Amino acid sequence: MIKQRTTSIELMRFIAAIGVMTIHFGSIYLGGDRLYAPFAYVFVEFFLILAGFFMMRHIDTREEPLPVFDYIGHKIKGFYAIFIVAFAAQFILFVMTNGVTGVGGYLHALFHFKWEALLLQCSGSIKDPAFNIDYLMGQDWYLSAMVLALVFIYPLARNYRKFYTSFLAPVTAILFYALIVQHYGTLDVGSEYLGVISMSIIRGMAGVSLGSLCYLGFEKMKQWQPEAGVLRGLSCLEIFCWIAALFLLSPFPYTTDEDVLIYVLLFSVVMILGFWNRTLLAGWLNSHGRRLLTWMGKLSLYLYLFHWTVMTAMNIWMPGLDAVLALPLYYGITLGVSVLGMLVDSRRKNAFPVILVVLVCLVVALLCAVH
């Protein structure tokens, strides 16, 4: 199953994207993050852990793993087209709402976001960065954090595998997560800095390292033939982890920001058992509705990247709607835009459609600035 899309994991990717969408909309548009998925920011950890899992799989299954920048370039190629389209669309809204006027103002604003366009906004190139001032999109810090974390982690894992897997990965995961929680009291950090080091990179390195350990756990379990009772126990554990993770989508009064760290363990269990494909739930999800769940997993990237622009547009043209109306509109519009984006992206033969869309967006932004 691991060489194909493992559909239990694809479902969790989709749920994670919905969770991130929900907490952003609740906190920014509706103004009540404690009422709408208050801890769903931890779903970003699932994406980071998954990146570490795939990184370790690449290193272990390739006779000659790619050099570091070839591997990172391959990762970026998988999402950059969608990212830069969302970036350009968001820039139009930024020009409209931030008093950008004239060609000079337009060029200054565009150049100001150069680090984000290059996925380097978490590299320390911006002092005390703030969303909607130094970043166009509040959600894409994760992409920068993942890329920069791989710059540190991948060459160590590739060239010093034994040292990395037996010492560095577990130490990095434990100490970095502890550092974040002890220093900030929450995993919900992105633009904060500890000296010159962005906490998003620390968070990214912790997640990628944990994902590497998940892959090692999966490899160990592949050869295991558990007794029926043990298998039933693991099935119960997996179901519990899924149910507990879903609490992030609704208020859970006994959970605090510090407690949310436990969810990285829940995600790890879901990931290992999902790829292992021997438990009741994973076996069912990996063999039923494969086409739908694969489609949902692919769609998660588009939902993640386009939802911020939809939310911004609603703040401009549909402000103050009641949640009963606002939430269905938000989900519906984001879904429609994402499906359209995925359809066009899957059918393009080269980069020309992406370049054309980005140029159109930049021209529209310029027209907004000069009028």
pLDDT by residue (tens digit) across 214-226? 999 999 999 899 9
> Quick one: pLDDT at residue 2?
42
Q: What is the mean pLDDT of residues 77-95?
A: 97
178 has pLDDT over 90: yes
What is the helix (H) or strand (E) element at residue 308, kind and residue range?
helix 290-317
253 has pLDDT over 80: no
Measured distance CA(281)–CA(291) in Å, rounded: 17
> Which of 112, 136, 125 lies closest to 312, judged by CA?
136
181 has pLDDT over 70: yes
Q: Is 145 exposed, middle or buried (0-12, 13-18, 19+ CB in 10 A)?
A: buried
Q: Which residues contact 83 (CB under 8 A, 6 or more apart)?
A: 119, 140, 143, 305
Q: Are 91 and 362 in contact (CB under 8 A)?
A: yes
What is the helix (H) or strand (E) element at residue 198, kind and residue range?
strand 197-198
How many helices (H) does the chain have, and how many strands (E)?
16, 2
Q: Which residues contact 162 (CB under 8 A, 6 or more apart)?
A: none
Average pLDDT, the chain: 93
Q: Containing domain of residue 271, as a range?
A: 7-370
> Quick one: pLDDT at residue 132?
74
Q: Could you identify the residue written with the tokens 């606002």?
A: 326
Q: Are 43 and 15 in contact (CB under 8 A)?
A: yes
pTM: 0.95
Report if residue 314 sits inside a domain. Answer: yes
251 has pLDDT over 80: no
Q: pLDDT of 282-334, one tens digit each?
A: 999 999 999 999 999 999 999 999 999 999 999 999 999 998 999 999 999 99
Report if residue 1 sits inside a domain. Answer: no
Report if residue 110 sits inside a domain. Answer: yes
56: confidence class by pLDDT, cuts 50, 70, 90: very high
Sign of the Cα pseudo-torsion (363, 365, 368, 371, in order): negative
Report if residue 120 sits inside a domain. Answer: yes
Q: What is the mean pLDDT of residues 130-140?
A: 86
> Quick one: pLDDT at residue 191?
82
Three-state SS for 251? coil
Sign of the Cα pseudo-torsion (327, 333, 336, 337, in order): negative
Higher pLDDT, 248 or 207: 207
Q: Which amino acid is at 264?
A: V
Q: What is the mean pLDDT of residues 33-60?
A: 90
Sign of the Cα pseudo-torsion (132, 136, 137, 141, in order): negative
Report if residue 2 sits inside a domain. Answer: no
131 has pLDDT over 80: no
What is the helix (H) or strand (E) element at residue 368, kind and residue range?
helix 352-370
User: What φ, ψ does residue 90 adopt, rounded to 5°?
Assistant: -65, -30
262 has pLDDT over 70: yes
Both tokens of 329, joined, read: 């509109």
- Which neighbouring-strand residues pair with 135? 131
Q: pLDDT of 14-25, one tens digit each?
A: 999 999 999 999
Counting every residue written for the chain, the total comes to 371
Q: pLDDT of 272-289, one tens digit each?
A: 999 999 999 999 999 999
> What is residue 131's DSSP assignment?
B
Q: Are 293 and 235 in contact (CB under 8 A)?
A: no
> What is residue 255's DSSP assignment?
-
Domain count, the chain: 1
Higher pLDDT, 180 or 259: 180
32: confidence class by pLDDT, cuts 50, 70, 90: low
134 has pLDDT over 50: yes
370 has pLDDT over 70: yes
Q: Could you identify the residue written with the tokens 């494969």?
A: 290
Q: Which amino acid is at 347?
A: R
